[in-house]
Structure 1
Amino acid sequence: MIRSLYIRVIFTFLTAVLAGIIIAFTITFLTFQEKMNGNLQTTLLNLGQDIARVYETVPLQEAEFIVSGMKILDSYDIRIYDETGQSEYLGSHKGPNSTILSMADVKKVLAGEVIQVDPSFTAQSLLGMPLKTEAGTRALFIESLVAPTASFTIKWVSTFLIYLLSIGSVLILAASIFLVRPIKKLTEATRRIAGGDFNIKLNIKQKGELGTLAQSFEQMMFDLRQLEQMRRDFVSNVSHEVQSPLTSISGYAMALKQVNLSDEDRIRYLDIIISEASRMSKMSDSLLKLSLLESQSQQMRLTSFSLDEQIRRVIVAIQPQWSARNIRFELDLKTAMLTADHDQLNQVWTNLLGNGIKFSEDGGVIHVSIKQDSKYVIVRITDSGIGISPEDQKHIFERFFKADRSHSRKYDGSGMGLAIVKQIVSLHHGDIRVESELGHGTTFIVTLPAATPTEIVKPDSYR
């Protein structure tokens, strides 16, 4: 199968040219063969009739003298056969390519039959007719020995070229339509995508460059379709998340306008308004931070530092969260040096450890371990909390997603933390995955390259 577009174009062009030559030649040959046959046979018949009239008009010897002196004999081979099959050539000599006649052909002519043989590329035109002389009936055979005239050849070639140009143009036009059809499909698909329609089927089966382009185009449409869906979900989620605190702020602000409101209720309403405003501020900050990470407009500041020491410092920094609930930490932090953005990874551990504390029962245990090989550093954070359902595990890294466990006010949050974590780990050419079972805790596994992120390619096993 021809896959290369370049070879396909060349092959199609050559095929169209070759087919055009064959078809044009066939049509021209068939057209001119009939004309040539008719003209030659008419000429031979007229010449034969003239010779016959000479033999019928004058005595035999004088007739032979007259016919032998005719200038036209230079272009024809004229033979006269008697009943015994003996032949006599009229003119100077026998033609070098004269057709060999059988005795059966001679007898047919002697019996009064006229024989005509159409010319071809390997044989000349031949006419056999009876000739009446004083010595009895003879068989006269006239054969053309000359090629078509120059004017005939020019006309033949001109007609052939006209047919070739016309047929070749039609074939090349048809071939170009076949070649351009996928490009037209892609052009039409581009227009539809520009209009917001991402549900397009190209159905391009070709291989090679066009097939690769079509596959890339379909992948682009799939990505754009997902992006559009993500945009719609994002707008819907933002509207939903913002609407809730705005409703609370608006409602409690209206309540504050009551004249007979007690100081205790007024303080409680103000606390709720402040809390909801703070939640909106955190959500806005998280959205901005995630947007900067996704656009990579915030440059990574790579430094070498001790990862185990960083995690210890984060645990100490969030001590008020876990000490108030008697949550313990079990650490297996082997020494690990890492080259990465210190502040961004600090946020990763803060979010993951904060989630472990938030969803663990009072008095629970959180295990944190570090393992390192020649290429990768693996951090495992395991809590003893309520776990995550298999269905929710598919979506926990999506922005605004909140699992069923977080629907109560006890587990309040914006649903942005894990999306930020996922983006930061991805920027470091790492990977994060979750293992969890409802009622049996959750484990987050973060895999990071031990070398500089720009110097390492993540293997399939960590994707």
Structure 2
Amino acid sequence: MFKSLYVRLAVTFVGIVVLSFLIALSVTSHFYKNRFEEVIKDEISDVTQSIEAQLQYATFNEIKENIQLIYRYQIDFIQYGKSSNKIPKDELEKIYSGKEIYNLTPGPDMYIGLPITIEGEKGALIIKKKEFEMSMLFESLSTITWIAILIGTIIILIITKSIVYPVKKLTEATKQLAQGNFDATYQTKRKDEIGQLTESFIEMAEELSLLVKMREDFVSNVSHEFQTPITSILGFTKALQHKQLTEEQRKRYLSIIRSESERLSYLSKDILRLSHLQHGQYQLVLSTFSIDEQIRKVLITQEPQWSTKNLNISLDMEHFFIEADKNLLQQVWVNLISNAIKFSPENGEIYVRVKKVNRDKVEVFIQDLGPGIPEDEQKLIFTPFYKIDQGRDAAVKGNGLGLTIVQQIVALHHGTIQIVSEYGNGTTFIVTLLNKLSID
């Protein structure tokens, strides 16, 4: 029963309300009782003085009527030694001995007993009142308390339900989400913690939906990327079985089979490398080296590619030492520079710039003057298997994993990579790296 959040909240709130009212009633009653006793004693003092003054000229019965009329008190006189059905014997003995008795417990038995001498006879003066404000107060407070508890309970149940309802709906949506229904969300206009939780849930559902789609696309793309070279290899393997082939044809088929096999090998390595980077299974091997010298060496190794297209390489690199994983960063420059070469037109130009922002920060710019990337495609270029050359240049080959790996490597170094491109006006990649150890 108490496993329900609604029941637990309701019981807790009602318990707090009841306890608060009981404490308030107890404290109020205590202070009112003390004040009530003070007021009663003052009134009794006035009544006693009035009785003593009237004894000089009036009978007790006349005094009794006057006191009841003026003060609304009832008085009785019990002669010394006699008993009464209304007053306990031990209380009377105390009064006879000269003590004053104040029995002010709320209820019909409230009375005050005073020792007094009337018409020469000693005895006990018993004073009572028809209406007792104290008992009326307790009855009023009791009624008010229970009404307040009832109203408070109803309000608390309504408020608790409004708190628990969205949580219940989110629980139902979570169960549907676990079953793969990513459209099962709960909308709310609340701006409190429940509203923030709902917004986080919706964002999580969207991210999970995107993640599932990316996984499905990834599997589909991997299958496609593997299937194409495998189909090619199988086709040319069967072709080699024909005896009528010339030696030249045989060599060409074998060359294609080798090329497709290498493509499969590179693809497998890239997928494995990406998996290690994404799941944190790669440990950085840090060393201190000159980043501008590393980029120069990469450009030298790429010289056959850019010289074939007669490209001009423009360099503007400040000297900067960085502490990083040298092999991983080399993959970044190789990928970005080879992409710049691929998409640069014949007789074009590539700009490479290394800018030292401060002792602990460096920016690397790699710019080509190629066809550029449409704005709606720029946010997709780091997606696995997405090829920025789709539909533009079928001669440009790649498996679509290079930029994804670059992004992961830069992220491992707590850096950022940005793209600035305008369709038809080239593309610039900006890599920003932080460095705790800088040597001028």
> In the alignment, which residue of structure 2 is the partner of 1:57?
none
Whether contact under 8 Å (1:387, 1:436) holds in the other structure is: yes
Distance 2:422 2:146 in 1: 81
53, 65, 68: which one pairs with 1:94?
68
Map 1:195-234; keep pairs closer than 5 Å.
195-234=179-218
Find the aligned partners of 1:432 and 1:280 in 2 and give their Cα distance.
28
Contact 2:309 2:346 in 1 (8 A): yes
CA offsets per residue over residues 266-300 of structure 1, 9 Å max, x none?
22222222212211221121111111111121112
Distance 1:389 1:299 in 2: 36
Q: What is the Cα deviation at residue 335 of structure 1?
A: 0.6
Alpha-carbon distance between aligned partners in 1 of 2:425 and 2:140, rounded to the nearest angstrom: 94
For the pair 1:355 / 2:339, whether they are aligned, the reply is yes
Aligned equivalent of 1:419:
404
Moved more, 220-229 or 89-98: 89-98
Instruction: Identify the match of residue 251 of structure 1 among 220, 229, 235.
Output: 235
Cα distance change, pair 174–386 in 1 and its aligned pair in 2 (3 A): closer
CA contact (8 A) 2:14 2:156 kept: no
- CA–CA distance in 2 between the matches of 1:161 and 1:368? 81
* SS of residue in 2 equivalent to 1:94: helix
The amino acid across from 1:94 in the alignment is: Q
Alignment of 1:290-329 (within 5 A): 290-329=274-313
1:334 matched to 2:308 = no
* Superposition deviation, residue 354 in structure 1: 0.9
Task: Return the alpha-carbon distance in structure 1 between the equivalents of residues 133 and 313 of structure 2.
Answer: 108
SS in 2 for 1:297: coil
Task: Give the C-alpha shift of residue 336 in structure 1.
Answer: 1.1
SS of aligned partner of 2:282: coil
Taking structure 2 as the reference length, what is the TM-score of the superposition? 0.65
Q: Aligned residue for 2:220? A: 236
Q: What corresponds to 2:432 in structure 1? A: 447
Secondary structure at 2:185's aligned position in 1?
coil
1:103 is matched with: none
Deviations 1:84-112 (A, max 9, x none): xxxx99957434466xxxxxxxxxxxxxx
The answer for unaligned runs of 5 or more in structure 1 is: 1-8, 26-87, 99-143, 454-463
Return closer, same or farther for 1:440/1:174 CA change in 2, 3 Å cut-off.
closer
Cα distance, 1:217 vs. partner?
A: 2.3
Q: CA-to-partner distance for each residue in 1:26-52, whole Å, 9 max, x for gaps?
A: xxxxxxxxxxxxxxxxxxxxxxxxxxx
Deviation at 1:309, TM superposition (A): 0.8
The equivalences for 1:109-188 within 5 A come to 145-147=130-132, 170-188=154-172
Query: What's the secondary structure of 1:451's corresponding residue?
Result: coil
Which residue matches 1:391?
376
CA contact (8 A) 1:306 1:338 kept: yes
Q: Deviations over 1:219-269 (max 9, x none)?
A: 222221221221122122222222222222222222223232333222222
How far the C-alpha of 1:214 sits from its partner, in A, is: 2.8
* Aligned-residue offset at 1:342: 1.2
Q: Secondary structure at the match of 2:373?
A: coil
Report SS of the residue matched to 1:414: coil
Tell me if structure 1 keeps the 8 A contact 2:389–2:396: no
Which secondary structure does the structure 2 equivalent of 1:309 belong to?
Answer: helix
Check the 8 A contact 2:182/2:209 in 1, yes or no: yes
Amino acid at match of 1:17: V
Secondary structure of the residue aligned to 2:385 is: coil
Conserved 8 A contact 1:405-1:411: no
Using structure 1 for the length normalisation, give the TM-score: 0.62
Q: Secondary structure at the match of 1:379?
A: strand
In the alignment, the residues of structure 2 paired with residue 241 and residue 175 of structure 1 have an alpha-carbon distance, to the nearest angstrom, of: 57
Identity %: 42
Aligned-partner SS, 1:292: helix
Q: Please report how far the alpha carbon of residue 415 of structure 1 lies from its aligned counterpart in structure 2 after TM superposition.
A: 1.1
8 Å contact kept, 1:16–1:175: no
1:373 deviates by 1.8
Change in 2 beyond 3 A, CA 1:332/1:326 = same
Post-superposition offset of 1:164: 7.3
Q: Gapped runs of 5+ residues in structure 2?
A: 1-8, 26-61, 73-128
Inter-partner Cα distance in structure 2 for 1:392 and 1:424: 22
Q: Alignment partner of 1:369: what SS?
A: strand
SS of corresponding position for 2:68: coil
Q: What's the counterpart of residue 107 of structure 1?
A: none
